Amino acid sequence: MQLVIGRVGRPHGLRGEVTVEVRTDDPDQRFVAGAVLATDPADRGPLTVSATRWHSGRLLVRFDGYEDRDAAQGLRDIMLCVDSAELAPLADPEEFYDHELIGLRVETGSGELVGTVADVLHHGQDLLVIDPAGSGCGDEVLIPFVAALVPEVDVGAGRLVIDPPPGLLDPEAAI
What are 13-44's pLDDT values in tens digits?
888 899 999 887 778 888 999 999 989 898 88
- Indicate the domain borders of the chain: 2-86, 98-170
Q: Which residues contact 41 (CB under 8 A, 6 or more apart)?
A: 78
pLDDT, average across residues 158-164: 90
For residue 101, report the phi and psi dihedrals to the nearest 5 degrees: -85, -35
Can you spell out the DSSP letters for 79-92? Answer: EEEEEGGGSPPPSS
pLDDT value of residue 119: 87
Level-2 CATH architecture, domain 98-170:
Roll (2.30)
Q: Band of the pLDDT at 173, cuts 50, 70, 90?
A: low
Decide if pLDDT at 52 tops 80. Answer: yes
pLDDT value of residue 137: 54
- Domain 2-86 in this protein, CATH class: mainly beta
Could you tell me the maximum CA-CA distance found in the chain, to the nearest angstrom?
63
Q: pLDDT tens for residues 95-109?
A: 788 888 888 999 988
pLDDT value of residue 134: 55
pTM for the complete prediction? 0.63
Contact, 39 vs 45, CB < 8 A? yes
Contact, 31 vs 61, CB < 8 A? yes
Give the chain's mean pLDDT. 85
Q: Residue 34: exposed, middle, or buried by beta-carbon count in 10 A (0-12, 13-18, 19+)?
A: exposed
Q: pLDDT tens for residues 113-129?
A: 889 998 888 877 888 99
Share of the chain above pLDDT 70, in %: 90
pLDDT, average across residues 127-148: 79
Q: Which residues contact 26 (CB under 8 A, 6 or more apart)?
A: none
Q: Do domains 2-86 and 98-170 have the same CATH topology?
A: no
